[in-house]
Amino acid sequence: MLLEQILNGLTIGSTYALVAIGFTMVFGVLELINFANGSIYMLGGYITLMLYLGMGGHFLLAFVLSILLTGVVGFAMDRIVLSHLRAKKAPKLTGLIATMGIATVIDNVILLFFGSQTKPYPNMIDFGRFYIGETAVNSSQLVILAVAILLMVLLSLLTYCTKLGKAMRCTAQNADAARLMGINVNLIIALTFFISSMLAAVAGTMVGMYYQSIDINAGFTVGMKTMASAVLGGVGVLPGAMVGGLLVGLFETLGASYISSGYRDAIAFAILILVILFKPAGLFGKKKINKV
């Protein structure tokens, strides 16, 4: 029973980790809390469903197109709204409020096209179950874990082993110095939003398949949980977002199993409060030293 719950927790936690990575990438580059992240996660799941139904069951093509289209939404969000705020040197609070407005727009567009009812979702990664001792293991769980781990590894390689990743890290460290080095800072920021949104689309689609349903309220809840994941690991720290997402998934699942399922959503926020109180920088974060 315990092993089964741990596997459940790691499965859902790996999807939180994917969204939290995108969240922490945006924060690392811009020091901006992207409140639209959860809505984009939900949008990716709905776009996959819409394309799947519209293309007569070609799921893989629908999934790939959904990832790209959701990435374009994130790219456009920065180029159309946030880049203009940066050009006007608007306060960071203005950008945060703008992402909240974008999230509201996305939520209402989904509501307009899909309605408020929970939609059934096809599970294309269910290849049956097998047993480890007395523990039942669903193939969907293993596929989600494998995809999430693969994407985490690829993103880590992109961030730390490529010129694009170096440009992202330079921009995060000092945008003005990055411009002097010839880096197109606005393009790098827009690409960060593009990658972040693609990761959210993957997570949204996999969770939809895992639960075999998708709901209009999923975006807000997951957005808050991924924020908790990022804070737990250390906001702006890529490995921290990965570990934080997995831990939040584990704590949530174990708490729901051994305490009460009614506290499932509250657990992530309780973790967020405890981390802020006792370790504000997170597990992998470091305190900033402000020189006077």
User: How does pLDDT run across 22-81, given as a tens digit for each residue?
Assistant: 888 888 788 788 888 889 999 999 999 999 988 887 889 999 999 999 999 999 999 999
pLDDT surpasses 70 at 285: no
Confidence of residue 128 (pLDDT cuts 50, 70, 90): confident
Greatest Cα pair distance in the chain: 63
pLDDT for residue 291: 44
- pLDDT tens digits, 169-209: 888 888 888 888 888 888 999 999 999 999 999 999 998 99
Q: Is residue 288 predicted with pLDDT exceeding 70? A: no
Alpha-helical runs (H) found in the chain:
2-30, 37-54, 59-76, 83-87, 92-114, 139-161, 163-173, 175-180, 185-211, 218-233, 238-258, 264-278
In a 3-state reduction of DSSP, which class is residue 160? helix
Q: Average the pLDDT over 216-234 and give the result.
A: 82
How confident is the model at residue 50, as a pLDDT? 92
Tell me if 281 sits within 8 A of 234, measured CB to CB. Answer: yes
CA–CA separation, 98 and 81 (whole Å): 8
Query: Strand pairing of 119-120 and 213-214?
Result: antiparallel
Of the candidates 82, 12, 71, the one whose C-alpha atom is nearest the C-alpha of residue 41 is 71
**pLDDT the model gives residue 45:** 92
Decide if pLDDT at 289 tops 70. Answer: no
Q: Compare 227 and 201 and report the one with higher pLDDT.
A: 201
Residue with the two structure tokens 């960060």? 192
- Rounded (5°) CA angle 237-208-19: 10
The mean pLDDT value of the chain amounts to 84
CA distances from 208 to 4, 105, 134 (A): 20, 21, 27
Instruction: Report the range out of 102-116, 172-186, 273-287 with the highest average pLDDT.
Output: 102-116
Cα separation, 123 vs 121, in Å, equals 6
**Has residue 249 got a pLDDT over 90?**
no
Cβ neighbourhood burial of 210 (10 Å; 0-12, 13-18, 19+): buried
Q: Is the pLDDT of residue 247 over 90?
A: no
Q: For residue 68, with 0-12 CB atoms within 10 Å meaning exposed, 13-18 middle and 19 or more buried, which class applies?
A: middle
Percent residues over pLDDT 70 in the chain: 96
Does residue 286 register a pLDDT over 70? no
pLDDT score at 254 = 82
Contact residues for 229 (Cβ-Cβ < 8 A; gap 6+): 16, 17, 19, 20, 23, 241, 244, 245, 247, 248, 268
The encoded tokens of residue 153 equal 């590894």
CA distance 183 to 186: 9
- Give the dihedral sign, CA 191/195/204/66: positive
- Give the per-residue pLDDT at 48: 93
**β-bridge partners, 63:** none
> What is the rounded distance in angstroms from the CA atom of residue 203 to the CA atom of residue 219?
11
Greater confidence (120 vs 173) lies with: 120
In one letter, which amino acid is 234? Answer: G
pLDDT at 241 exceeding the cut of 90: no
**121-to-50, 206, 255 alpha-carbon distances in Å:** 10, 10, 26
What pLDDT sits at residue 292?
44
